A and B are shown apart, each in its own frame.
Chain A
Amino acid sequence: MVKSSGSLLNRLAFLRGLILILAVVVAFVYLGFSREVRLGLDLKGGTQLTLQALPTEEVTEITSEVMQGVEAVIQQRINGLGVAEPLVQISGQDRLFVQLPGVADPDRAIALLGDTAQLEFRKGLVPANTLPRNELGEVTAGEDPDALFEHVGLTGDLLRNAYPQAPRRGSQNWEVLLEFKPEGAEKFTQLTRDLAGTGRPIGIFLDDVLISAPVVGAEFARTGITGGTAVITGNFSVETANDLAVKLKAGALPARIQVIENRTVGATLGEVSVRQSLYAGIGGIVLVFIFMVAYYRLPGLIADVALLIYALCTFALFQLLGVTMTLPGIAGFILSIGMAVDANVLIFERIKEELREGKSLYKSISEGFNRAFSSILDSNITTLLVCGVLFWLGIGLVKGFAVTLGIGILVSFFTALTCTRTLLLAAMGIPSLRKPQFYGVRMEVSQS
Chain B
Amino acid sequence: MTTQEISPTDPTLQVPHQLNYRFDIVKRSKLWFTLSLAVLVVGLTSMAFCLASFGTPLRLGLDFSGGTLLDLSFEQPVTTEELRQALQEHNLGSSVIQLDTSTSQEALIRMPPLSEEERLAVEATLREEVGPFERNLVETVGPTVGRLLLRSGILAVVISFGLIVVYLTLRFQLDYAVFAIVALLHDVVLTIGLFALLGLTVGMEVDSLFVVALLTIIGFSVNDTVVIYDRIRENLRLVSRKVSFAEVVNLSLNQTFARSFNTTLTTMLPLIAIAILGGATLKGFAIALLVGFALGVYSSIFIASPLLVWWRQQRSARIVDDGDPENGDPVEVTAQGS
Q: Which residues of A contact B204 (CB under 8 A)?
A: none
Can you list the 3 inter-chain pairs with the closest CB atoms, starting with the nearest?
A: A284-B270, A338-B267, A386-B219
Q: Which residues of B contact A110 (CB under 8 A)?
A: 116
- Complex contact A342–B208 (CB within 8 A): no
Chain B nearest CB, measured from A207 CB (Å): 14
With an 8 A cutoff between CB atoms, is B273 at the interface? yes
Chain A nearest CB, measured from B240 CB (Å): 18
- How far is it, in angstroms, between the C-alpha of A268 and the C-alpha of B72 when the chains are bound? 11
| Interfacial residues of chain B within 220-235, with CB under 8 A of chain A in the complex | 220, 222-224, 226-227, 229-231, 234
Q: Mark A99-131, 1 if CB is under 8 A from B, else 0.
A: 000000011001100100000000000000000
Q: Which residues of B contact A389 (CB under 8 A)?
A: 156, 159-160, 163, 215
Which stretch from B25-33, B53-61, B140-148 is at the chain A interface? B140-148
- Complex contact A328–B167 (CB within 8 A): no
Number of interface residues of A (CB under 8 A): 69
With an 8 A cutoff between CB atoms, is A283 at the interface? yes
| Interfacial residues of chain B within 134-183, with CB under 8 A of chain A in the complex | 134-142, 144-145, 148, 152, 155-156, 159-160, 163-164, 167-168, 171
- Complex contact B167–A385 (CB within 8 A): yes
- How far is it, in angstroms, between the C-alpha of A335 and the C-alpha of B219 when the chains are bound? 12
Additional 15 contacts, C-beta under 8 A, given A349-B259, A375-B230, A386-B164: A50-B142, A114-B116, A262-B139, A266-B134, A277-B274, A284-B272, A284-B274, A327-B279, A328-B285, A337-B270, A338-B263, A345-B266, A379-B227, A394-B212, A398-B212
Chain A nearest CB, measured from B70 CB (Å): 10
- Complex contact A260–B142 (CB within 8 A): yes
Closest-by-CB residue of B relative to A281 is B270
Chain B nearest CB, measured from A368 CB (Å): 12
| Interface set of B (CB-CB < 8 Å, partner A) | 71, 73, 115-116, 120, 134-142, 144-145, 148, 152, 155-156, 159-160, 163-164, 167-168, 171, 208-209, 211-212, 215-216, 218-220, 222-224, 226-227, 229-231, 234, 255-256, 258-259, 262-263, 265-274, 276-279, 281-282, 285-286, 289
Q: Mark A279-296, 1 if CB is under 8 A from B, else 0.
A: 111011101100110010
Q: Which residues of A contact B266 (CB under 8 A)?
A: 288, 291-292, 338, 341-342, 345
- How far is it, in angstroms, between the C-alpha of A390 and the C-alpha of B211 when the chains are bound? 10
With an 8 A cutoff between CB atoms, is A393 at the interface? yes
Chain A nearest CB, measured from B190 CB (Å): 18
Q: Pick the contact of B278: A50, A276, A388, A393 (CB < 8 A).
A: A276
Q: Pick the contact of B220: A269, A383, A394, A398 (CB < 8 A).
A: A383
With an 8 A cutoff between CB atoms, is A252 at the interface? no
Q: Which residues of B contact A260 (CB under 8 A)?
A: 141-142, 144-145
Chain A nearest CB, measured from B124 CB (Å): 11
- Complex contact B164–A382 (CB within 8 A): yes
- Complex contact B171–A268 (CB within 8 A): no
- Complex contact B226–A382 (CB within 8 A): yes
Chain B nearest CB, measured from A367 CB (Å): 10
With an 8 A cutoff between CB atoms, is A405 at the interface? yes
- Complex contact A393–B270 (CB within 8 A): no
| Interfacial residues of chain A within 190-237, with CB under 8 A of chain B in the complex | none
- How far is it, in angstroms, between the C-alpha of A284 and the C-alpha of B282 when the chains are bound? 14
Q: Given contacts A277-B279, A341-B263, A386-B160, is CB(A264)–CB(B138) below 8 Å? A: yes
Q: Given contacts A281-B270, A328-B285, is CB(A261)–CB(B140) below 8 Å? A: yes
Q: Which residues of A contact B212 (CB under 8 A)?
A: 328, 390, 394, 397-398, 401
Q: Which residues of A contact B137 (CB under 8 A)?
A: 263-266, 269
With an 8 A cutoff between CB atoms, is A92 at the interface? yes
Closest-by-CB residue of A relative to B269 is A287
Q: Pick the contact of A280: B120, B167, B263, B273 (CB < 8 A).
A: B273
